[in-house]
Structure 1
């Protein structure tokens, strides 16, 4: 692909995607047309509010929920923190002491989920951390066995951001619904961070059987700085911030209509063109899988069956420094990553470490993630650099 002014290979779509042209066009339309604060009561403000609610309704239809269950945020991190904190704080507000509150999550969640939960854990809430199997997938029975009478929240990601493995959210959701029906309780609430999913997987809440969902525009060819949380109306939760009545009083700050327009248009494109995109990108990724089979000392991390079609995470066991390898790729015109882009200063991937196996895997991870603009030529260049890295260490 042509990226910038040079023929570069962009293989870091899991970190951020390239802005879709139609999305950019819709954002420019919103910026030029709706100039007023949507909370203002004069004509321009009312027009802006009508547009805001129109975009919210579009998102609701795409996700098969009601429009008042959509809340726009600054991104996935805020959405995760808001949902998790909101559910826990609603119980604390009702007088439940922290030690009588239980939360279930996995140890391969995004750091915004884990760090938020750990903050509450320090205050005394009980947490069960589910360990995935060696294929990078959490087992349904491990989650359901961990449920207690005091469990208020289960937060399991839809897709892992590092190794791309798809978690059995719908199956977990079906069992959680049955548990709630049997106990006549609204708990536990089931939340899933689906930030990596929309370009590749159906994210409708009814299909996933969940109560709350996190999305982030820049992971689906939308703009940075805008995300959304979907929270079903039966869920009790407290806002993370106070000070305004925007977003139904749950997320105060003046809404950015151009960013919201970008989010909505990106989600629409993600949904409507998904089948063709998946087929094209899977062929590209699978070609790289085939080429890596001839390279010594490479381990593929996570399942190749239950995995996003655009992700390949490998460990080159002979590497002494994975970040140096990223710089070597960069020198050869390839942009890729090691670990999550949100992890700075970490020497190893906690996700890959959780899979067990050779301890070198967690220190030598390389993540390649592709998108609609990725080509077979890109794959050949990546494979060539991988082979050279392996040869240098095996001489």
Structure 2
């Protein structure tokens, strides 16, 4: 087992095009968001496993000896081969109850906190099972991603945990060499990270699509179609405004609403879904061209696609007055916006063309903030899960991860 401190980060995600249509067999484009979750893992010898999640107010510690004495056969104890895709299956309800008992959380603990702890314990016990003795570790995870906003915060958490635990247990090598500020794992190692991260997502979401953890692992832009995920080659890093309307939404109800509208008006809604699919495909084509030689004309096409998709999503019934307000405010500043994710509130993205004057960007952000929204400037197409040297992280992140 490695003895050095590991610093890992993984990005969140936004859906660029294909929301809701993807549920009905159409293409969706998901892109890595340059807001990241950071993890510090420090091995020690005090016989405890410490987990600190300051964003959600979790600080827990477990005795390694107690965890070691658990009957963990349901986690695959005793297998000698290196974990592969089928090694870790979805825990049964009885197994989840066992993990809840181990977690030792109070009955009134918030669901978000409970699921984060269960995902950690599951990954820790599963990945570290081949060690002669379970390792004593101190783990701090801090995120720039707001939880529950549809930005892939749980996936970035699971990916960061999987990467750090696999590395410290030497299931995959540490790719960081002397003099490196940041580095990434090989394709084969990233595939293993992604497989384990998906298990963490299963603990949190039950039956996830796998898109969020794939985007967080690989970064860039991904195409998702009927369960198949593939990476776009050399997608450009696009500058955006990310706006959180702070209006809560019920994803399940919104998905059901689209399905009901499709059943009620099939000749109207089916063509809308087909059109959204065409928008995703056209955007994929343009992004492919931009990877080679970006031009202003291509940004203008992306803006048109954004506008058309937003109108289609409103026609599907997943818009919201807050999102209309977001689009109106940015349009007044010559910018183009759409919802991202389930809709009904939540978040929206606004494309920023190259050469846009910073005072205009700041004026737009101020106008959105005045509406009661949270707004920040960031980018999409960010790198996937990465490992960092201590000196490569800025002081704000170092402080959040425990004053490194």
Q: TM-score, normalised by structure 2?
A: 0.26
Greater share of strand: 2
Greater relative contact order (Cα < 8 A, sep 6+):
2
Q: TM-score, normalised by structure 1?
A: 0.26
